[in-house]
Amino acid sequence: MLRLPFLVALALLTAFGLGIGSAVGMLDASSGFGAIRLGPWAAFPEAQTASADPYARSHRARAGKLLYAAAEGLQFQADTDEDGNRLSPRCTYAVDGMTPPARFWTLYPANQDMEPLKPARYLPPAFNAWNVLRRADGSIRVLVSARAQPGNWLAINEGQPFRLVLTLLDTPTAGSSGVLEVRMPKLEKVSCP
């Protein structure tokens, strides 16, 4: 007598559980479709526009972050180096080369939720277009490491996984026509104990 209601309740619980679980899993696994990849750097230029896919909209709404309009800027993130290896907090990496044209840019390490990592006291949490040391040709070299490095050193915590975030503000790169011709700085592994 109670067998049929129990089976119906079990079927509904399973269906809702799997449905909600798969939706949450997809939101955690993806920032949406339409990514532009330039070496290890990836950007989602349509994530904040009206033509964004439903996963990108849900991902951004769940994160609760204010996004840049298409004309304001573009945010690139890198989870791997030039060889496709995942970034490791035990290794030292070099962000080397010219930054894309932009009125202002920032480079900082972030966790998997895109929240900026806080380094030890008195260490710079980020570099930007105004405080980075440049070479004579205008290119940059920023060393990302948990151990002290000469020059532009972006400190990370040794045990904490990270990704690098390069945000370009007021840039022609944000327009959809010029993104694929942009040259991004290289992200190479320098050493790994």
End-to-end CA distance of the chain: 66
Segment 113-128 shows an average pLDDT of: 87
In a domain, 17, yes or no: no
In a domain, 182, yes or no: yes
In a domain, 57, yes or no: yes
Cα–Cα distance measured from residue 55 to residue 52, given in angstroms and rounded to the nearest whole number: 8
Taking alpha carbons only, the member of 164, 168, 171 closest to residue 187 is 164
List pLDDT tens digits, range 70-100.
667 788 999 999 999 999 999 999 999 998 8
How many residues does this entry show for the chain?
A: 193
In a domain, 22, yes or no: no
Under the banding of pLDDT at 50, 70 and 90, the label for residue 104 is: very high
pTM: 0.76
**Which pLDDT value is given to residue 143?**
95
Mean pLDDT value across the chain: 82
- Find the domain containing 134 and state its range: 31-191
**Which pLDDT value is given to residue 142?**
95
In a domain, 96, yes or no: yes
List pLDDT tens digits, range 32-54.
556 678 889 988 776 666 666 66
Taking alpha carbons only, the member of 68, 90, 35 closest to residue 169 is 68
List pLDDT tens digits, range 138-151.
999 999 999 989 99
Do residues 69 and 163 touch, judged by C-beta distance below 8 A? no
**Could you tell me what percent of the chain has a pLDDT over 90?**
38
In a domain, 26, yes or no: no
Do residues 96 and 155 touch, judged by C-beta distance below 8 A? no
In a domain, 14, yes or no: no
* Tokens standing for residue 154: 């972006």
In a domain, 21, yes or no: no
**Which pLDDT value is given to residue 1?**
67
CB atoms within 10 A of CB 120: 8
> What torsion, rounded to 10 degrees, do the Cα atoms 62, 63, 64, 69 define?
-110
CATH of the domain at 79: 2.60.120.600
Looking at the predicted structure, is the pLDDT value of residue 119 above 90?
A: no
List pLDDT tens digits, range 58-73.
666 666 666 666 667 7
Burial class (CB in 10 A: 0-12, 13-18, 19+), 43: buried
How many structural domains comprise the chain? Answer: 1
Cα–Cα distance measured from residue 10 to residue 193, given in angstroms and rounded to the nearest whole number: 52
Do residues 191 and 81 touch, judged by C-beta distance below 8 A? no
**Which pLDDT value is given to residue 49?**
61
